[in-house]
Amino acid sequence: MKALEDSGDEADAGARHEQELKAIKEKDPEFYKFLVESDKSLLDFRAPTPAEMAVGEEEPGDDEEDEEEDAEETKAKAKKAAGAAQAAKKVLTPERLHRIQDTVMDSFTSCKAALNIYHTAVRSIEGRAMESTDPAWKEAEAERKAKEEKKAEQEGGKKPKPKPKRSKARPGLLEIEDEAIFSEVIEWSLTNLLAAFHHHAGKLRKGSAPNKKRQKQKGKKGGKKEDEEFDVDPGPGAAVDVRRYARWLRVQVLVKIFWDETFFLLNHLVGQQMIEYLLRNISGPQAISWLWPFKKVRSLFIKKCILVWSQAPTQPVRLLAFLFLRNLGAMALQERESTVKKTPLLDDIIRTMVKGFAQAASAGFTWRSINSFRVMENSFVEMLRLDDSTAYRLGYVCIRQLAIVLRNACIAVNSHTDHSKSKGQATSMARGKNKKELTEKQRKKRAHYQQAAQSLVAWPFIRGVYLWTKAVGTLPSLRELAYPLSMVIMGAVKSQISKIQMFPFVYHCLLCQNRLGASLGVYVPISSHLMKCFEVMNIAIDKAFQKRRSSAGKDYAGVSQAKAPEVEVLTHFGEGQRYDSLTLEAVGGNLMFLLADHMGLLSQSPAFPELVSIVLIHVRKHRKHCGSEAMRRQLTTFIQAAEATAEQVRLKREALTEAPSFKKFLIFDADTQMAKLRVTMTKRKADEEKQRIEAETRDDGKPEGDDAKGDKNKKKQRKGRRQREAEEAAAEAEGAAGEAAKPAKKRRRKGGKEEAPADQKEDKVEEMAFSSGED
């Protein structure tokens, strides 16, 4: 507490307080007397905070409290101070609050009183201590205990000596009874307290901040004072090393208390507007410069802001949390802390952001969350822009992790297949006889294989692929990672491409490949995979047709769904959706979009005629054997556009006066017929996506209480509507199946002439209208 009273040039603290509080003395003598008498106890409310209890060692810049006091003496002083504070407690009125606010720049006592009021307001939010509820504190405390146990083992099994417990937080000397005063105290403190600390910190020294030993030596009585040179202060809004201020020791404890209380406030606030206001005031460079000396508090803020960044329900709060992280990362690059830590601070921030992104993705992906993920992807790319070497290092590690997930999934599938082949033949002959129960080891092994296989077809992997596709396509420093990323995506596609049920996963991977090629301007071959998807789709259409014919005249209620599945927000189709007409319609429409997107991009290359010629051979084959008339029309439109584009590209090649650069793949403008088709389909896809997002987020503007009350009713209404639509569709399908059971011409066989049924409405598969093929 001595540092709080050292004023540098002023020897008598009492005389200084008399002079500073002259204005309050004239207007409110009683309150003036209370402040002067309570000056030393204004900051006596300090209690063990998460930052203080999670630390193991002190570092330069931390507050220099008297940690070596005897435990009994500390308790006695605490009881005595608590009794005195309770006796002298005053109610904070608006007049007294305004007097403190008006004199906070002129009086250090008023500054401490303002901090005391801020503490009182913050702690009134939650009656119980933060330690019992805050996950960030629990994590930090667990890490501290693990380090102590590890250190004890290294020293020979000795248990760490327990530290003396501090007294619990005591209430402030001023009591807040009005809600309006409470809000005003919180808002004013967040806005003005840091500026007050800057004012009372004194002049800015030249050079770097003095180390801890030098600060202690200068603070001793009788120590020689060196002639100090001062620099021009850039002002309260600039980012500087605050330890260079001449009176840093005087305000150090106050700043530490401010950040502890602010972290407590951030953990307990619920309203998004208040969280936004808090983050707006602490995310600037000037605020972060005052947080920088306190490493433990800083690490807690990083974890909390990453949690807010990944899970905030509103975009302004998410953006402000990202702004805090970005400014902190930029300051970390400037400071370059000289520690023995293995990883720099920026690496830790980005790694933790990757974990937060994966946790958000594991919660699911819907139309409501699509904008949130896009904001997170864009902000993550901005974090990688800060340092190229850090971006490449972490990009390499994360893409390698995606490859490990793919490898483990393939091993799990192959191991399960080999195990089934080796023991399945004899067991299948006598199924149900002499069946042996699996051992505990076998059950764990099977569960491990299932988890490894499921981790591939999951949202964390898919959104991770989207994230690094955007990062590699945007940042030049990550361009060398494009090939390994493409190989990982292709491996994931090959592992699931033969299953119509896994088409949504294949669609996401192929879409990322298209985006990677478009952003880098390179050739990423996916045509063969698209042709394989068409083949799988045609087989599914044939099976669906046979299934409908076999169910003719029967009570078949599962012929069609009430709504087509939305491939963009799925990882796979349900078991009953594989041969549904609306499912196959969605598959065909998205396949045509991927094909038009891919070939429309390649139409800007002089090699397009040669590239498209082989693709057209397979497209004509699939058109010939496709069982859907609507799909055949879309394939015909694609063939016509491809042939016309090939002729246009040949004319452009002949008009070239010199050989194009071999380093550039796409040299022509996007004015060909195939390029226009790509633009049209992309725009249509974006419009559909926008409509679905608006439909899902239409009720976001309503109060949370109304939304929570009506949530169950909405679910019941949607469920009832789906059931009615399913019953109507089943009735129509049953009638159509009865008509189809009547004698009719057989379906075209392989090598034979195609003969359509007499009534086209009888064949539901033939009636599928693919939404993405034509205008």
Q: What is the DSSP string of 216-266?
A: HHHHSTTPPPPPP-EEPP--TTS---GGGBTTHHHHHHHHHHHHHHHHHHH
Closest CA to 303 of 439, 84, 137, 476: 137
Phi-psi region of 265 (alpha: psi -120 to 50; beta: other; left: phi over 0): alpha
Q: Specify the length of the chain in residues.
A: 775
Whether 614 shows a pLDDT value over 90: the answer reads yes
Q: How many helices (H) and strands (E) does the chain have?
A: 29, 4
Mean pLDDT score of the chain: 77
Phi, psi of 742 (to 5 degrees): -70, 160
C-alpha 47/C-alpha 169 separation (Å) is: 4
pLDDT value at residue 62: 45
C-alpha 526/C-alpha 518 separation (Å) is: 13
Query: For 658, which DSSP code?
Result: S
pLDDT value at residue 342: 58
Task: Kindly report, residue by residue over 381-406, the tens digit of the pLDDT.
Answer: 999 999 999 999 999 999 999 999 99
Whether 430 shows a pLDDT value over 50: the answer reads no
Whether 210 shows a pLDDT value over 70: the answer reads no
711's CB contacts (< 8 A; 6+ apart) are none
pLDDT value at residue 38: 57
528 C-beta neighbours (distance < 10 Å), count: 11
For the chain, the first-to-last Cα distance in angstroms comes to 77
Percent of the chain residues topping a pLDDT of 70: 64
What Å distances lie between residue 593 and 15, 252, 600, CA to CA? 80, 61, 10
pLDDT band per the 50, 70, 90 thresholds, residue 22? low
Mean pLDDT (whole number) for 169-191 = 79
pTM: 0.75
User: Are 482 and 625 in contact, with CB atoms under 8 Å apart?
Assistant: no
464 C-beta neighbours (distance < 10 Å), count: 21
Which helix (H) or strand (E) covers residue 518, if one does? helix 503-520
Question: Degrees (nearest 5) of the Cα angle 532, 538, 541?
Answer: 145
Mean pLDDT (whole number) for 581-595 = 92
pLDDT value at residue 215: 52
pLDDT band per the 50, 70, 90 thresholds, residue 453? confident
User: Are 594 and 511 in contact, with CB atoms under 8 Å apart?
Assistant: yes
User: Are 766 and 628 in contact, with CB atoms under 8 Å apart?
Assistant: yes
Give the lowest-confidence range in 62-66, 515-519, 525-529.
Answer: 62-66
Mean pLDDT (whole number) for 368-377 = 94
User: Are 85 and 171 in contact, with CB atoms under 8 Å apart?
Assistant: yes
Whether 225 shows a pLDDT value over 80: the answer reads no
Mean pLDDT (whole number) for 682-704 = 80
Whether 505 shows a pLDDT value over 90: the answer reads yes
C-alpha 130/C-alpha 471 separation (Å) is: 38
Mean pLDDT (whole number) for 647-670 = 89
Query: For 165, which DSSP code?
Result: P
203 C-beta neighbours (distance < 10 Å), count: 16
pLDDT band per the 50, 70, 90 thresholds, residue 142? confident
pLDDT band per the 50, 70, 90 thresholds, residue 756? very low
Closest CA to 7 of 250, 169, 248, 234: 250
pLDDT value at residue 241: 84
C-alpha 24/C-alpha 145 separation (Å) is: 48
Structure tokens at 508: 């996401």
